[in-house]
Structure 1
Amino acid sequence: MTQPIRVIAQSLVRERERAGLSLSEVARRAGIAKSTLSQLEGGHGNPSIETLWSLCVALNIPFAQLLEHQETTTRVLRYGEGSRVTAEHSNYQAILLANCPPGARRDIYQVVVQPGADRLSPPHPPGSVEHMIITRGRALLGLTEALEELGPGDYICYPADREHLFRALEPDTVAIMISEQN
């Protein structure tokens, strides 16, 4: 598993400077320590999905913008490849498969989830939508007040600017997630 900390570090500095915000202000908005943000911008640490999402919300950028450089060439990722991040309190991994070109805000991920701790996601920026397709296993997912059970080939779409959850019901549950932001 490769932690994309170097790309994350460069992206954090670029996006913070683009927004014209200080290190202290981004840390405050994200609800993290200034020293943590400083370490991440320096290319050190192992940030959780929760920390990265908080920084994305604070900077008003799509999640994938922290994980990958924009590319315009043909790209093939074999199963298990890609920039990978893990959740802090659940056995949940997100692997970035593709991000959008400039001006577009759609990112594609492969997620691999194990039963046990649920992946409870706080609301993403307003207008966010997630599309999920289960490719292996079974899961209970969607808005926390309206969870749906899905199996291989099943698709769900929900507003990700509301609290939502992913609960694996079988080991090695795999899904393709498409995240959109308006």
Structure 2
Amino acid sequence: MDYLNKNISINLKAIRKEKGMSMDEVAEQTGVSKSMLGQIERGEANPTIGTLGKIVSGLRVDLADLTRTPGVGVYQVNRDRLLPSKEVPGQYAVYTYFPYEKNRLFEIYEIEIEPGACYVSGAHGQGTNEYIVVHAGELTLEVDNSFYQVKQEDALSFETAVKHIYWNKGREPLKFIIVFVFKQ
């Protein structure tokens, strides 16, 4: 399950309970079957935008109320259930742990790059810093025609106002975590 479906799952159940509605009542108000609503709440379905439209209309909530990160004390992301948010098979995959949100000043991603491949990233704008921790392999980072080697278990940070390229020039798969921090 990706982060968006997980958010929808948790939020739909919370909204339903907050309104004191049974699954039957939500089905009646939204026109979405009780079976489909149950699958969405359990995180087993990938609802279409049409289905989400019926739910927000029937429950009289905003789409953002369903998709936002739930206001829970603990929000766990299981890596084995994440789907790549960007991917070129045989080259790289990007996994989103915590995406951009207006009330959060950071994002967290994991990138996997196969040997001999690279991932090109555009500039992220003034006031954005990137923090990288390499978990496996060795990263060659190209920033503004300069190259930086980041070995396994090492870290690096830089301002991301310019295009940059993540290279895996090694023979092993490369895995690293990126934290983007936005200045206020």
Q: Write the letter of the residue equivalent to 1:72.
A: G
Change (3 A) 1:75 1:5: closer
SS at match of 2:146: coil
TM-superposed deviation, 1:156: 0.7
* 1:121 to 2:134 alignment: no
- Distance in 2 between residues matched to 1:172 and 1:118, nearest whole Å: 11
Q: Which residue of 1 aligns with 2:82?
A: 82
TM-superposed deviation, 1:103: 2.9
Query: Considering only CA atoms, is the larger Rg found in Structure 1 or Structure 2?
Result: 2
Q: Write the letter of the residue equivalent to 2:71.
A: T
- Distance in 2 between residues matched to 1:119 and 1:84, nearest whole Å: 14
Q: Which residue of 1 aligns with 2:21?
A: none
Q: Which residue of 1 aligns with 2:180?
A: 179
Q: Does the 8 Å contact 1:92/1:119 carry over to 2?
A: yes
Q: Which residue of 1 aligns with 2:161?
A: 161
For structure 1, the residue ranges without an aligned partner over 5 or more in a row are 8-41, 44-64
Mapping 1:4-43, distance limit 5 Å: none
Q: Does the 8 Å contact 2:3/2:96 carry over to 1?
A: no
* 1:71 to 2:46 alignment: no
Q: Does the 8 Å contact 1:135/1:174 carry over to 2?
A: yes
What whole-Å deviation, never above 9, does each CA across 1:63-90 have from its counterpart, x for those lacking one?
xx9xx63223212233333352224598
Change (3 A) 1:157 1:6: same
Q: Does the 8 Å contact 1:90/1:118 carry over to 2?
A: no
For structure 2, the residue ranges without an aligned partner over 5 or more in a row are 7-47, 50-63
Q: Does the 8 Å contact 2:125/2:162 carry over to 1?
A: no
TM-superposed deviation, 1:145: 1.7
Change (3 A) 1:129 1:90: farther
- Distance in 2 between residues matched to 1:105 and 1:128, nearest whole Å: 10
Q: Does the 8 Å contact 2:119/2:165 carry over to 1?
A: yes
Change (3 A) 1:136 1:180: same
SS at match of 2:94: strand
Q: Which residue of 2 aligns with 1:59?
A: none
- Distance in 1 between residues matched to 2:79 and 2:147, nearest whole Å: 28
* 1:136 to 2:136 alignment: yes
TM-superposed deviation, 1:96: 1.3
What whole-Å deviation, never above 9, does each CA across 1:44-68 have from its counterpart, x for those lacking one?
xxxxxxxxxxxxxxxxxxxxx9xx6
TM-superposed deviation, 1:146: 1.9
Change (3 A) 1:72 1:4: closer
TM-superposed deviation, 1:5: 8.6
Equivalent pairs, count = 124
SS at match of 1:80: helix
Give the TM-score normalised by the residue count of structure 2. 0.55
Change (3 A) 1:153 1:147: same
Q: Does the 8 Å contact 1:89/1:117 carry over to 2?
A: no
